[in-house]
Structure formats: structure tokens, C-alpha cells
Structure 1
Amino acid sequence: MAQKNKITRRRLFRLGLYALAPYGLAFLDGFFIERKWINLRHIVLSNTPTCRIAHFTDVHHKGDLTYFKKVVAKINSLEPDFVCFTGDLIEEAAYLEEAIACLREIQYPLFAIPGNHDHWSGISFAPLQACCKASGGAWLLNQEVLSPDGKIVIWGSAGQNFTPLPSSPKENSKRILLHHYPAAVDRIHEKFDLILSGHSHGGQVRLPFYGAITLPYGVGKYDKGLFQTQAGPLFVNAGIGYWALPIRILCRPEIALIEI
């Protein structure tokens, strides 16, 4: 008479490994592959675009110069008219100098704003203002400037709230808003041709048919991608770096080329 198969401790352990294997592979992918596998996204918002904008955000530079320089090289390869950065360059002041050294390698005018981590780091923004100015762009702290060709008004918000300034834009000029926090769009009554945000990291870890597992404050329903809002088209970039855990699952780091 055949002996019935017994569930031994070894067999139970082996079955457990089989069950957990997909999750283990996903985490290995998130730690070692997807976290630095940059996605280049191309968005066209006009039938007759006149401007090419490269957008990146949320670098959270922690000393990985090889990766940051790879990001800059990809931005330069897009040959944009100018580049926009929407906050969280660093988390600790110790990394500011080398982060600025990488930004200086961007070959196009850089328009940038701080994120919450830049504020929390306690750094002086003067070196970043000098860096952006030297590129032909600007570090914007609740300010507006014209693009290099004088055809686009670029507004840069320095905090969570949007504070519009008196403006006399050039006739028929397009208007772009840089705002770190996507959810602020619901409190904006101005009209823009494009709003660029970050902060969400796209959630860093996303599940099929569900989306982001968790999101920071100031994101709301605008977690990742292009949204049509009352204030105009909002693009929320998934960002370059990470916060807390060095992992990305179904949420690759992103650089966007946007034509308006």
C-alpha cells in the first residue's frame, strides 16, 4: 500500500519559496534594474509646436555621480530649447556642491524651483541661483521670467501654495508654471499652457490595476502622467531618484520631452 505524501518541514519551506519567488524577483528588479532604467517620455501638446522642453525632477542626489551624469547626458541628447527642473535636488547639504557640478553640465538654459527636501536641507539657494543664471535660465522663488526667445512666460513657485504675481506677458506668449506639488493645481485659478510638477515619484512602487501603493502629501489624485485640469495641462513626472527605500517597481525614473 502506497504511503501518503507527508508535508515535511523541508517541503513546506520549498513551497513557500515557490510562492514568494515572483515577489522576490520583483524586488530584485526594483533594487538593481528598474531604479536606474531611465524612461524617456515624449509628449506633444500642440499641432504646431514651437518649443521643446526637457523636464526632470526629484533627483534626491545622494552621491551617485555616475547615474546623475547619465541623466544629464540624456537631457542633452534631447536638444531642448530649455530645461525645467521641479524640485528636490538633494536631501542633505553635503551633496549640494557635486549636484551643482552635474547641473552645470546641462548644455541648455535651466529653469528650476526648490522642493520640500531642498528647503529641509537648510542650504543657501545662492549657488543654485548662480548655476541657473550661468546656463541662461533662472532659479525661481515665486518669480516669473521670460524664456530665452522671449516667447514663453515661466512662473516658478517656491512652496506648497501658489502665489501669482502681477504680470504683463508679451502678447500671444505661452505660459508655463513650475510647481513641485501637483495637488496645488486644484487651488489655481490662473490659466497656463503647461504645468510641470514632481514630488510624487509616481509612488515608486506601483501594482498592476491598482497604481501607487503610497503617495506623499501634496499629490492628491495627480500621481503620475498627464492630466487635464482647470488650470491647464498638468504633467507629473515620476522623477529621477528615490526617497526612503532605493527601489522602483513598475515606475521607472523619467525624463520628459514636451512640445508646446
Structure 2
Amino acid sequence: MKHNCTRRSFLKNGLGITAALLFSAAGGKYYSERIETKWIDIQHHTINNNLIPKGFSQVKIAQFSDTHLGFQFQLEDLLKTVQIINRLQPDLIIFTGDLMDRPNEYKLQNQIPPILKSLKAPLGKFCIYGNHDHGGYGSQIYRDIMYASGFQVLLNSSFEVKLINGDSIYIAGIDDAMLGKPDVGKALAEVPKGAFTILLSHAPDYADQTKLFNVPLQLSGHSHGGQVQIPFYGALVKPPFAEKYYEGFYQLEKTQLYVNRGLGTTRMPYRFLSRPEITIFELNQEG
């Protein structure tokens, strides 16, 4: 009887897998192009660290990344993103690069700042360069758009976020690893020793360099989470500087790395098992 049940279960599971494969063949393209690319995943995480000042406990940070405006992600998608982030009421907002897919070819540049400017964050809005922000002679275009949108553009530099009670943390940002000139030492030059610092690097694999500086937290994008993930195989697309670290948390000695899957797509207009992501981090003083 046990043998029959096992055989029956095996056949049932086999039929289920076969049906799933047939469904995937028939509807996978529609799902990966039209559904998952619009199905935003809001991730919530707590960052525990004894370097976080007491005044920053329960401070909320929103990270979004890799919109690639003009490829598949459009202005209406950006507006939806802004509305979602504002509903989540973060204290601080971070964008980790790749705003437009091809900056010099994007015809609606002047419509971006009014949308991004409506993002509300009492402790500030910060951004860095991605490779697409430099590509196509886009460096100055990106900088101008982000400044007009109320963002502090961090280019191998840092910014002190200070509360009324005197408590502070630092947001540091480095240039893109592919098309820029990242300099962690320069970015951290004005950061006091022992300060809780969030380092922004578009390229997640650059954490192998930043960990040498004992940065508590690095936030990255670039990978799109592989954009398409195949069961039992993993991420299908791993771009340079996102080959080792492509999704979620990694602990590299004293540096905690988080890789956001981004919101847009590039090269191919599909996502599969790699939903677009907005991340909310809540800071917590540990110990």
C-alpha cells in the first residue's frame, strides 16, 4: 500500500511538473514581460548595528534602483513608484543608479524632475551614478536631473545626516565601477572613525574593496537580481560587477551588503522569479 501511494504521488507530481512546463511554454513570455515586470515587491528589513546612534533607531530608509527609463519602464511607472514610496513614509531616500537606459536618447528628460521632486523624505534624498548614467554622454544629464529633483548626488563623497539632538550618520557614495572612477578612500575621507556609514555603490561586487574599509553597510543595485532566474540553475544574467553578489544580503567581514533587484529591465524586457523591488530598511541600535 505504501508502495502504491508513493508511486501515485510520484505520478501526480510528475504530471504537475509536466503541466507547469507546458504552462510556462505557453504563458511564460506573457507573464515575464507583462506581469512580473510590473509586480513590485516591497521588502522590509531591519539593520541592527551598535554604531547606529540612539536617535536613529526606527529611522526608515527607502532604496530604489535601476529604473532604466525609456526601455520598458516609463514615466507612468516612475510616478507609481513615487506614490508607493511616499505611502511608505521613509525618513530618507536612496537611489542607487541607472535612471535612464540611454540618457542622450531619452526625449522626456524634462518630465523626470517634477515626478522625482515629489518624493518626500525629511532627512534627505541621495543618489549615485550607475553605468547607464555615464553611458551615452549622460553624466551631466543625470547630474542635472537629479539635482533638479532635490537629490544630493554623491560622487566619491559623503554627507552627514544630523538630527536636532546632535546624533548623526553618514551617507557616502562612490562612482560607478564600470564606467566611472570609484574611490572609496576619497568618499570616506570626511567620515569620522566609528561613525555609522551607509556606502552607496551601484556595483555590488565592489564590496570586495569596500569591506577593507570596515564600512558597516553597503547598498547596491545593478544586478536586477539576475532579471531572469531559472529553477535549479539560478540567475541567468549576471553583468560585470554583479557576478558574485546579485540579490539580497551578504556578510563580508564587518561589511553588510544589500543588493536591490531594481525596478526596470535592460537588454531584454523580461523578469522571471526576480520581481522589481523597493526596499525599506529600519535602523536599530543593537546592544
- Which TM-score band applies after superposition, normalised by the shorter structure? 0.7 to 0.9
The separation in 1 between residues aligned to 2:143 and 2:248, in whole angstroms, is 32
2:116 corresponds to 1:103 = yes
Which of the numbers 177, 188, 206 marks the counterpart of 1:184?
Answer: 206
Cross-structure match for 2:147: 130
Cross-structure match for 1:39: 41
Q: 1:40 to 1:152 in 2, by over 3 A?
A: same
* 3-state DSSP of counterpart to 1:29: helix
The separation in 2 between residues aligned to 1:100 and 1:24, in whole angstroms, is 40
Q: What amino acid is aligned across from residue 199 of structure 2 in structure 1? A: L
Cross-structure match for 2:85: 75
Following TM superposition, by how much is the alpha carbon of 1:148 offset from its aligned partner in structure 2, in angstroms?
4.9
* 3-state DSSP of counterpart to 2:256: strand
The separation in 2 between residues aligned to 1:33 and 1:99, in whole angstroms, is 24
2:184 corresponds to 1:163 = yes
Following TM superposition, by how much is the alpha carbon of 1:158 offset from its aligned partner in structure 2, in angstroms?
1.3
Answer with 30-39 or 143-152: which moved more. Answer: 143-152
- Stretches of structure 1 lacking an aligned partner (at least 5 in a row): 1-16
Q: 1:186 to 1:19 in 2, by over 3 A?
A: closer
Following TM superposition, by how much is the alpha carbon of 1:210 offset from its aligned partner in structure 2, in angstroms?
2.4
Where has structure 1 moved over 6 Å in runs of 4 or more?
A: none
Following TM superposition, by how much is the alpha carbon of 1:208 offset from its aligned partner in structure 2, in angstroms?
2.0
* 3-state DSSP of counterpart to 2:185: coil
The separation in 1 between residues aligned to 2:41 and 2:120, in whole angstroms, is 20
Checking the alignment, whether the CA contact within 8 Å between 1:162 and 1:184 is kept in structure 2 is no
Answer with 22-31 or 89-98: which moved more. Answer: 89-98
Checking the alignment, whether the CA contact within 8 Å between 1:185 and 1:231 is kept in structure 2 is no
Checking the alignment, whether the CA contact within 8 Å between 1:53 and 1:80 is kept in structure 2 is yes
The separation in 1 between residues aligned to 2:125 and 2:209, in whole angstroms, is 27
Checking the alignment, whether the CA contact within 8 Å between 1:195 and 1:232 is kept in structure 2 is yes
Question: What is the number of residues matched between the two proteins?
Answer: 241
Checking the alignment, whether the CA contact within 8 Å between 1:45 and 1:259 is kept in structure 2 is yes
Provide the aligned C-alpha RMSD in A.
2.3
Q: What amino acid is aligned across from residue 60 of structure 2 in structure 1? A: R
The aligned runs of 1:195-206 (5 Å cut-off) are 195-206=218-229
* 3-state DSSP of counterpart to 1:164: helix
The separation in 1 between residues aligned to 2:95 and 2:207, in whole angstroms, is 17
Answer with 86-95 or 236-245: which moved more. Answer: 86-95
Following TM superposition, by how much is the alpha carbon of 1:30 offset from its aligned partner in structure 2, in angstroms?
0.7
The separation in 2 between residues aligned to 1:237 and 1:168, in whole angstroms, is 27
The separation in 2 between residues aligned to 1:29 and 1:196, in whole angstroms, is 29
TM-score normalised by structure 2 residue count:
0.77
Cross-structure match for 1:55: 63
